[in-house]
Amino acid sequence: MIEAWIREFARLVIEEAPRLTELDSAIGDADHGSNLSRGLTAVVAALDSTTFDDDTALLKKVGMVLVSTVGGASGPLYGTFFLRAAGALAGGFPAAFRAGVDGVAARGKSTTGEKTMLDALVPAAEALESGKSWPEVLAAAEAGRDATIPLVARKGRASYLGERSVGHLDPGATSSTLLVAAAASTLPPDA
């Protein structure tokens, strides 16, 4: 099921890559879709060619492949998400997801309200931890993503724009909502 989650995330990112790049062209350097789809294509190739002992090993590999292929700000951040999630998977999916999100915040020295992927990931982690259903978890991520529109970017390239970053959806909050959407459609209700 963890493998199905990752494969679905890859499928969604590759499908949405032009849109992610378009969002990044407004407040960044127009590479978020191409960065992530390159990384997730490499992830799928790794899944196709490797047999993993368990889901922890699989998620570790996902993290390592993303760190080495994505680049930019989002490569190390998504890589950290999966490496930290791998380390906490024994405690269940909500704990693994939370560990991944905390890893992004630590690595990015970032928090919610700064117009980043955390604005979608943190509400999703909270909803998961409080036992919400997948549709509710996804709705929390989507609401967090959409709430980035009026925010001033405080982290990453978009922060160079200052007030001019207002009025745009954050690309990373959009891609991380795809991560939640992929989980919602592949993982069991009590994951």
116 binds, among ligand ADP, Mg ion, none (CB under 5 to 8 A by kind): ligand ADP
Given a contact cutoff of 8 angstroms between Cβ atoms, the answer to whether 27 and 153 are in contact is yes
- Ordered DSSP codes for 111-132: -TTSSSTHHHHHHHHHHHHTT-
Decide whether 20 or 127 has the Cβ nearer to Mg ion: 20
Given a contact cutoff of 8 angstroms between Cβ atoms, the answer to whether 84 and 103 are in contact is yes
**Cβ at position 108, least distance to ligand ADP in Å:** 2
> Residue 51, SS3?
coil
Q: Does 170 bind Mg ion (CB under 5 A)?
A: no
**Cβ at position 78, least distance to Mg ion in Å:** 13
**Cβ at position 18, least distance to ligand ADP in Å:** 14
Site string for Mg ion, 25-44 (x = CB under 5 A): ---xx-xx------------
Give the whole-angstrom CA distance, residue 97 versus residue 89.
Answer: 8
Binding site for ligand ADP (CB under 6 A): 24, 28-29, 31-32, 35, 72-74, 77, 104, 108, 110, 116-118, 155-157, 170-173
Give the whole-angstrom CA distance, residue 153 versus residue 166.
Answer: 8
The distance in angstroms from the start CA to the end CA of the chain is 10
Strand positions, DSSP E, the chain: none
117 binds, among Mg ion, ligand ADP, none (CB under 5 to 8 A by kind): ligand ADP
Decide whether 20 or 137 has the Cβ nearer to ligand ADP: 20
Site string for Mg ion, 49-88 (x = CB under 5 A): ----------------------------------------
What dihedral angle (degrees, nearest 10) is formed by the CA atoms of 161, 163, 165, 170? Answer: 120
